[in-house]
Amino acid sequence: MSTVQTLVDSGIHFGQRRTNWNPKMARFIFGERNKIHIIDIRETLKGLLLAERFIEQVVASGKDVCFVGTKRQAKDSIAKYATEVGMPFVNERWLGGILTNFRTIRDRLGRLEELDRLVESGEIDTYSKKMASQLLRQRRKITRNLDGIRTMEKMPGALMVVDVSREANALREARSLGIPTIGLVDTDGDPDLVDIAIPGNDDSIRAVEAVLRELCAAISRGKGQRTAQAEGNDAASENDNGDDGSSRRRRSSRSSFRSDNGAAPATEAPAGEG
Q: CATH number of the domain that 127 lies in?
A: 1.10.287
Within this chain, do residues 19 and 81 fall inside the same structural domain, yes or no?
yes
Q: Which of 153, 180, 196 is the last residue of a domain?
A: 153
Q: Quickly state the pLDDT bin for 227 (edges 50, 70, 90).
A: confident
Q: Is residue 213 part of a domain?
A: yes
Q: What is the DSSP letter of 25?
A: G
Q: Is residue 265 part of a domain?
A: no
pLDDT: which is higher, 251 or 61: 61
User: Range of 104's domain?
Assistant: 100-153
* Model pLDDT for residues 101-128, shown as the tens digit of each residue: 999 999 999 999 999 999 999 999 999 9
Total structural domains within the chain: 2
- Let me know how long the chain is: 274
Q: What is the DSSP letter of 143?
A: H
Look over the chain and give the mean of its residue pLDDT values, rounded to a whole number. Answer: 87
Q: Where are the beta strands (DSSP E) in 186-259?
A: 196-199
Within this chain, do residues 52 and 92 fall inside the same structural domain, yes or no?
yes
The pLDDT score that the predictor gives to residue 200 is: 96
Within this chain, do residues 30 and 92 fall inside the same structural domain, yes or no?
yes
Within this chain, do residues 51 and 92 fall inside the same structural domain, yes or no?
yes
Q: How many helices (H) and strands (E) does the chain have?
A: 7, 8
The pLDDT score that the predictor gives to residue 175 is: 97
This prediction has a pTM of 0.81
Within this chain, do residues 184 and 67 fall inside the same structural domain, yes or no?
yes
Within this chain, do residues 135 and 64 fall inside the same structural domain, yes or no?
no
Q: Is residue 191 part of a domain?
A: yes
Q: Quickly state the pLDDT bin for 59 (edges 50, 70, 90).
A: very high
Q: Quickly state the pLDDT bin for 244 (edges 50, 70, 90).
A: low
What's the whole-number mean pLDDT along residues 125-154?
93
CATH number of the domain within which 167 lies = 3.40.50.10490
Q: Is residue 257 part of a domain?
A: no
The pLDDT score that the predictor gives to residue 78 is: 97
Within this chain, do residues 211 and 115 fall inside the same structural domain, yes or no?
no
Within this chain, do residues 10 and 58 fall inside the same structural domain, yes or no?
yes
Within this chain, do residues 179 and 124 fall inside the same structural domain, yes or no?
no
CA distance 217 to 231: 21
Nearest to 83 by CA among 155, 149, 174, 157: 149
The pLDDT score that the predictor gives to residue 122 is: 92
Within this chain, do residues 176 and 69 fall inside the same structural domain, yes or no?
yes
Within this chain, do residues 14 and 149 fall inside the same structural domain, yes or no?
no
Q: Is residue 248 part of a domain?
A: no
Q: Is residue 260 part of a domain?
A: no
Does the pLDDT value for residue 67 go beyond 60?
A: yes
C-alpha distances (whole Å) from 158 to each of 2, 51, 217, 224, 274 are 27, 10, 16, 18, 50
Q: Is 196 helix (H, G, I), strand (E, B) or coil?
A: strand
Within this chain, do residues 198 and 138 fall inside the same structural domain, yes or no?
no
The pLDDT score that the predictor gives to residue 47 is: 97
Q: Is residue 216 part of a domain?
A: yes
Q: Quickly state the pLDDT bin for 242 (edges 50, 70, 90).
A: low
Q: What is the residue type of 112?
A: L
* Model pLDDT for residues 187-225, shown as the tens digit of each residue: 999 999 999 999 999 999 999 999 999 999 999 999 999
Q: Is residue 234 part of a domain?
A: no
The pLDDT score that the predictor gives to residue 237 is: 64
Q: What is the DSSP letter of 29?
A: E
The pLDDT score that the predictor gives to residue 257 is: 39
The pLDDT score that the predictor gives to residue 1 is: 58
Q: Quickly state the pLDDT bin for 18 (edges 50, 70, 90).
A: confident
CA distance 158 to 57: 11
Measured torsion, CA atoms of residues 14, 16, 21, 24, in degrees rounded to the nearest 10: -30
Q: Which of 153, 170, 194 is the last residue of a domain?
A: 153
